[in-house]
Amino acid sequence: MTEIPRINRLFPNQVKDVILPEALAFPRAVDQWVRAVFVASVDGAASIAGHAGGLGNDIDMQLFALNRALADVILVGAGTARTEVYGPAEDDAQWRHLRENRSPTAPMAVVSHSLDLDFSASLFTEAPRSARTILITCADAPAQARAQAAEVAEVIVAGQSSVDLSAAIAELQSRGFARIVCEGGPQLFTDLMEAEGVDELCLTRSPTLVAGTETRILRGAQFDPPVELELKTLYGTDDGFLYLLYQPAA
């Protein structure tokens, strides 16, 4: 059996060798939770050469898989799904025990205004029946695309001319998807923050500098006023990576 990875808690109270599932456990006192998950360099880059890969370490990759195993549903923007060539979530043997009494994998929920997607892609054709891909769109999405989408995915309509993310989150939660993990991209995360739809940010800080014009974890108009975050927990590993859990300040 693969050894469960451990990290050191640095804040609020220093503790050595915390197991990763304990560090990333969802709050027990709440029934519904939305967690955004990102990795970024010290100078704020969330990608290298346009892709998210390359910034994380082994712990970050296991953290990514763990968050998927903990999730009831995995939320992602259509642009990220296209760029990163998303498929269905994989059945990870290391974290399989965390999905007891649920489907072996969490379904993907893709947010798309236009439904400009390849419906023959593995994201749709290879999704297991127990975790069918979900498409979240708006009422003004092209009718033909909506009909095609309904053949390969569950379609949720939230909003008229654009996706109403508050309504979309409520729709997911009404279907029993109480714990939602958002993997981005930056525009979706920005829109969720503006809709006050994020309860927690799980951020891996990579000890690298990227420079250039790479994507950040947010994109769009500047928040006015800036959104203040409260650091709830900080973990670290000997290779200089930091793992932070933030919540919007009260």
User: Which tens digits make up the pLDDT trace of 148-157?
Assistant: 999 999 999 9
The average confidence (pLDDT) of the chain is 95
What's the CA gap between 7 and 233, in Å, rounded? 12
Q: Is 80 exceeded by the pLDDT of residue 2?
A: no
Residue 220, helix vs strand vs coil: coil
Inform me whether the pLDDT recorded for 249 exceeds 90.
yes
Q: Residue 157's pLDDT is what?
A: 97
- What is the tens place of the pLDDT at every residue in 155-185? 999 999 999 999 999 999 999 999 999 998 9
Question: 65 pLDDT exceeds 70?
Answer: yes
Quick check: bond before 12 cis, omega within 30? yes
pLDDT at 1 over 70: no
User: What confidence tens digit (pLDDT) does each residue in 205-243 have?
Assistant: 999 999 998 899 999 889 999 999 999 999 999 999 999
Q: What is the pTM of this model?
A: 0.95
The rounded distance, in Å, linking the Cα atoms of 103 and 129 is 9
Spatial contact of 110 and 89, defined as CB atoms under 8 Å apart: no
Q: What is the pLDDT of residues 67-125, one digit of tens each?
A: 999 999 999 999 999 999 999 999 999 999 999 999 999 999 999 999 999 999 999 99
How much is the pLDDT for 43? 94
* Section 114-137 average pLDDT: 96
Q: What is the pLDDT of residue 34?
A: 98
Helices of type H across the chain: 20-23, 58-70, 78-83, 122-125, 143-152, 165-174, 186-194
Q: Are 106 and 134 in contact (CB under 8 A)?
A: no
- Return the residue matching tokens 């969490």: 106
Query: Is a pLDDT exceeding 60 seen at residue 202?
Result: yes
Asked whether the predicted pLDDT for residue 52 surpasses 80, the reply is: no
Q: State the DSSP code for 13.
A: S
Across the range 53-73, mean pLDDT stands at: 94
- Distance CA(201)–CA(190), nearest Å, equals 12
Q: What pLDDT, on a 0 to 100 scale, did the predictor assign at position 133?
A: 98
Residue 244: pLDDT over 90: yes
**E-only strand ranges, the chain:** 6-11, 15-19, 33-41, 73-77, 108-111, 134-137, 154-157, 179-182, 200-206, 229-236, 242-248
| Rounded-to-integer distance, Cα 100 and Cα 70, Å | 10
Mean per-residue pLDDT, 51-60: 87
94 Cβ contact partners less than 8 Å away, ≥ 6 residues apart: 2, 4, 62, 65
Tell me how far apart the alpha carbons of residues 124 and 121 are, in angstroms, rounded to a whole number: 6
